Amino acid sequence: MRSLSTAAAPAPRISQTPLPYELNALEPVLTQTQMDYHYNRHHKTYVTKYNEKLDQIEAAQAKKDYPAIARIAREIRFFGGGNWNHTFFWESLAPVKLGGGVRPSDSSPLSGLIKSSWGSYDAFIASFNAETAAIQGSGWGWLVYNKSTKSLEYRATANQDLITDQQPSGLVPLLNVDIWEHAFYIDYKHAKADFLKDVWKVVNWAKVEQRLGEATK
C-alpha cells in the first residue's frame, strides 16, 4: 500500500504586480521620483520580505521551532498585507489622460451611494481626508461597501492590516489611500493634507465603480 505524505506543500511565492501605468504618469500629483521610491523600493521590499519569510517559516516548521513559527507568521501577515494593499492602491489611481479624477455620472450606482452616505462627492472627500489625516502613525484610509447594510462607509487600518479583517465580515474594499510617510514625503514633505487634497485628481473612479459592481452582484 502506498504511503501518503503528511507534509504541507510549500506556499507559493509571489511577484510584484507591474504598475498599470508609467512611473511618471501621475505627475504632477505624484512625481516619477516619488513613484520610483514608493513602487520600486518600498513596495518591492514587501514582496521580497514576504518570500524570505516563507523560506524561514518552512525551515522553522521542519525544526518544529514553534516560537519562531509564531513570530514569522506575524511577519508574513505584515509583508503580505503590504503587498496586497499597495497593489490595490496602484489600481485605485489612474493618469488624468486615462480618466484619473473623473467622477462617475450622477445617475451611476456609485454616485447614488456616495450621496446617500455623505450628501455629495465633495462632502465625502472632505470627510475621508479629515479621518485619514487623523490616523496616528502609518496606515490607510478606505472606502468600503458594507454588504449587510448595502451602503458605503469609511474605514481606517493601521500599518499593513487588511480591510477584509475588520468587522463586520461583509466589508468590500473599493478604494484606498496610503498615508504612510513614504507615500508622499518626497513630493509633499510634512504637508500630508496637501497630498490628500491632490490625490483625488488621479483617483480611478472607473475602477471604483467596477469594484462596486462586482461587490453588488
What are 13-25's pLDDT values in tens digits? 999 999 999 999 9
Q: How far apart are CA 142 and CA 157, in angstroms?
A: 8
DSSP state of 96: G
- pLDDT-derived band at 47, boundaries 50, 70, 90: very high
Residues at the annotated binding site for Mn(2+)? 38, 86, 178, 182
Contact between 42 and 182 under an 8 Å Cβ cutoff? The reply is yes
Q: Which three cell numbers stand for residue 51?
A: 518570500
pLDDT attached to residue 8: 59
Ordered structural domains, the chain, with CATH:
32-94 (1.10.287.990), 97-215 (3.55.40.20)
Q: Over the stretch 68-77, which tens digit does the pLDDT of each residue have?
A: 999 999 999 9
Residue 195: how many CB atoms within 10 A of its CB? 24
Largest CA distance in the chain: 69
DSSP bridge partners of 176: 142
pLDDT in tens, 135-193: 999 999 999 999 999 999 999 999 999 998 888 889 999 999 999 999 999 999 999 99
Q: Closest Cα to residue 182, out of 192, 167, 194, 170? A: 192
Q: What is the pLDDT of residues 82-133, one digit of tens each?
A: 999 999 999 999 999 999 999 999 999 999 999 999 999 999 999 999 999 9
Phi/psi class of residue 161: alpha, beta or left (left: φ > 0; alpha: ψ in -120 to 50)?
beta
Closest CA to 48 of 77, 75, 79, 25: 79
Enumerate the β-bridge partners of residue 157: 140
* Residue 4 pLDDT > 50: no
Quick one: what percent of the chain has pLDDT higher than 90? Answer: 91
Q: How confident is the model at residue 11 (pLDDT cuts 50, 70, 90)?
A: confident
Q: Residue ranges for the binding site?
A: 38, 86, 178, 182
Q: Is 154 helix (H, G, I), strand (E, B) or coil?
A: strand
Provide the mean pLDDT of the chain.
Answer: 94
Cα dihedral 19, 21, 24, 25 sign: negative
> For 174-184, what is each residue's pLDDT tens digit?
999 999 999 99
User: 188 near 194, Cβ under 8 Å?
Assistant: yes
Q: Note the pTM of the prediction, 2 decimals.
A: 0.93
CB 114, CB 121: distance < 8 Å: yes
Extended beta strands in the chain, E state: 139-146, 151-158, 171-178
What whole-number distance in Å separates Cα of residue 172 and Cα of residue 212?
A: 8
| Phi, psi (degrees; rounded to nearest 5) at 48 | -60, -50
Q: What is the pLDDT of residue 2?
A: 37
Residue 169's pLDDT is: 85
